[in-house]
Structure 1
Amino acid sequence: MENTQYKLAAWPAIVHAKCPRCRRGDLFANSMYGFKGQVMNKTCPHCGLVYEREPGYFYVAMFVSYALNVAEMVTLAVAISVLTGSSNPWLYCGIILSVAVVLSPFNFRYSRVVLLHWLTPGLHYHPEMSKDNL
């Protein structure tokens, strides 16, 4: 039974912000919303993968976060228009900016998750790394 392949699904690992190589270790040391801010682990606690591939690696996550922000703002603007029919720019600005502030921790976390899971060349899932450390 030791030769059986142990595979973990990709989507739960992405949703729960797990390591892209082993899908077991946490990317972040604390929760998304809290007073201490988000602290990202330097290495995977399960397989030891160094998350910051090179100095300044996570600057690219800002572009992913920007894309998430734009998608959220456009979606909100369309929803406000459809639901209220208002043309008051203060309504749009108030709601969109409020939601952007509330979703900023989400965007921070998942821009890094998307960068590590999908946009990093050469970083792939290794099922053998998912096994329990004994």
Structure 2
Amino acid sequence: MENNNYKLAAWPAFVHAKCPRCRRGDMFATSMYGFQGQEMHKTCPHCGLTYEKEPGYFYVAMFVSYAFNVAEMVTAAVAISVLTGSHNPWLYVTIILAIAVILSPFNFRYSRVMLLYWLTPGLHYHPEMSRDKIN
């Protein structure tokens, strides 16, 4: 019996960096934190969606990553101020730069995922593509 109402939830697919069209295929071939770097698939292994629509498409993800960095740095500065009450600028610089370096793989990955999920016009979820392939 075939289930015509087969739909995958958006948030788990987003969090696990799955394809925005089928929500099954992985967008990245490697893990977020690792020594080999992050490698993104050219196409979705499940539905064949080409992730990079045109040359330089992911340059827009830099703006998303910049917004992530600003939010993280402001949050860190407020947290440092509240938790320590210090006015030492070196404390702020050291902690904020450490946080920026530690979160840079996260920002890289999720800026691209966010670009494909919510900032690409015409790219939508197609539940029929979520089904298992029949060989």
Query: Common fold, TM-score beyond 0.5?
Result: yes
> How many Å separate the matches in 1 of 2:52 and 2:128?
22
Q: Deviations over 1:80-124 (max 9, x none)?
A: 000000000000000000010000000000000000000000000
Residue 8 of structure 2 corresponds to: 8
> How many Å separate the matches in 2 of 1:5 and 1:96?
46
Residue 81 of structure 2 corresponds to: 81
TM-score by length of 1: 0.98
TM-score by length of 2: 0.98
1:4 CA displacement = 2.0
SS at match of 1:82: helix
The gaps in structure 2 that reach 5 residues or longer are none
- Are 1:62 and 2:62 matched, yes or no? yes
SS at match of 2:53: coil
Q: Partner letter of residue 85 of structure 1?
A: G
Equivalent pairs counted in the alignment come to 134
Residue 91 of structure 1 corresponds to: 91
SS at match of 2:86: coil
Identity of counterpart residues, as a percentage?
A: 83
Residue 100 of structure 2 corresponds to: 100
Q: Could you say if the C-alpha distance between residues 102 and 3 of structure 1 is closer, same or farther in structure 2, counting changes exceeding 3 Å?
A: closer
Aligned CA-pair RMSD? 0.7
1:3 CA displacement = 5.1
The gaps in structure 1 that reach 5 residues or longer are none
